[in-house]
Amino acid sequence: MKRLILKTEEIYKRERAAVEMYGLPLIVLMENAGHQAASVVSRWLKKNRKERVLVVCGRGNNGGDGMVTARYLINAGFDVRTILAGEEKKISALAFTNYQILCKMKATIIQQPGTNLDWREFQKVEVVVDALLGIGLHGRVREPELTIIKQINALKKAVFSLDVPSGLDADSGVVLGEAVHATTTICFGFLKPGLFTGAGPQYSGKVKLVDIGFPWPLYQPDWEAETADRRGFK
């Protein structure tokens, strides 16, 4: 796996190619992303002798990554609570599949459609997994995500952000009103330029790149030039 730094639009093209050229479903990439993230978080927990985890999930596919992460951490025996930011009916299709799995596992899920959650009950949490907002964020962060980001930062715990700290523009490194201060950012497949420019370095912490199973040709810098016209990926 090559360490490519790609903008959001370029990543989406490769995701589409993974599905249409290689027959690799996006839900498989989500599964791989959550599994890899759980492995990183699990190693940290074991090294630091911690066990209480809070996974904060948005309604989009980044939230789905978080739900997979929560499942694997539960399977590993950690004490996991999951917050769903928003209404169940607004969850993306891929994320909803993993939400249903957690529900059937009788995992602890706290639905948070508004901003009135009492965060004092999470003071004993030892690590937070930030799966609230991903690379698709455009425009300033709105409620309830705005308050949730502030509360995550106020906990002053170790934070693992999935793909990009919530509230940080993945392309420019601009803080879109408010952003999570991550201890570690677990980057899926490709590095994002916003982690290294603008305010990115202040919010991303240590950046760890993990392989989530994209076919190897999609890691080539010249992939689009060689295949776009022939395959219809323009």
Residue 200 domain flag: yes
In this prediction, residue 230 carries a pLDDT of 47
Residue 230 domain flag: no
Residue 229 domain flag: no
Quick: pLDDT tens for 170-182.
Answer: 999 999 999 999 9
Quick: pLDDT tens for 55-111.
Answer: 999 999 999 999 999 999 999 999 999 999 988 888 999 999 999 999 999 999 998
Total number of domains in the chain: 1
Q: Which of 183, 117, 105, 173 is nearest to 145 (CA)?
A: 117
Q: What is the mean pLDDT of residues 24-33?
A: 97
> Over the Cα atoms of the chain, what is R_g?
17
Classified as helix, coil or strand, 81 is strand
Domain containing 181 equals 8-216
Q: What is the mean pLDDT of residues 137-144?
A: 90
Distance CA 221, CA 63 (A): 28
In this prediction, residue 77 carries a pLDDT of 96
Average pLDDT, the chain: 92
Element (H, E) at 10: helix 8-20
DSSP string computed for 42-77: HHHHHHHT--EEEEEE-SSHHHHHHHHHHHHHHHTT
In this prediction, residue 228 carries a pLDDT of 53
Distance CA 93, CA 114 (A): 21
And the tokens for 211? 């392989």
CATH of the domain at 157: 3.40.50.10260
**Residue 128's beta-bridge partner residues?**
54, 159
Residue 37 domain flag: yes
Residues sharing a CB contact under 8 Å with residue 2, sequence separation 6 or more, in sequence order:
219, 220, 221
Residue 2 domain flag: no
